Homo-oligomer: A and B are copies of this chain.
Amino acid sequence: MLILKPGQALNLWHKAMLAQVRDDDPDLTTRQMAILLTVYLDPPPHTVRGLAAQLDVTKPVITRALDTMGIMGLVARRRDERDRRNVLVQRTVDGAEYLQRLGDLIADEAIETT
Contact = CB atoms under 8 A, between A and B. Distances in A.
Interface in A25-55: 27-31, 33-34, 37-38, 40-41, 54-55
Interface residues of A, number: 46
B106 A4 contact: yes
A11 interface: yes
Query: Which one of A2, A27, A41, A111 has the highest number of Cβ atoms from chain B below 10 Å of its Cβ?
Result: A2
Interface string A92-114: 00000001101110110011011
18 contacts: A1-B111, A2-B110, A2-B111, A2-B113, A4-B106, A4-B107, A5-B107, A6-B103, A7-B103, A10-B102, A10-B106, A11-B41, A14-B38, A17-B30, A17-B33, A18-B54, A22-B56, A28-B30
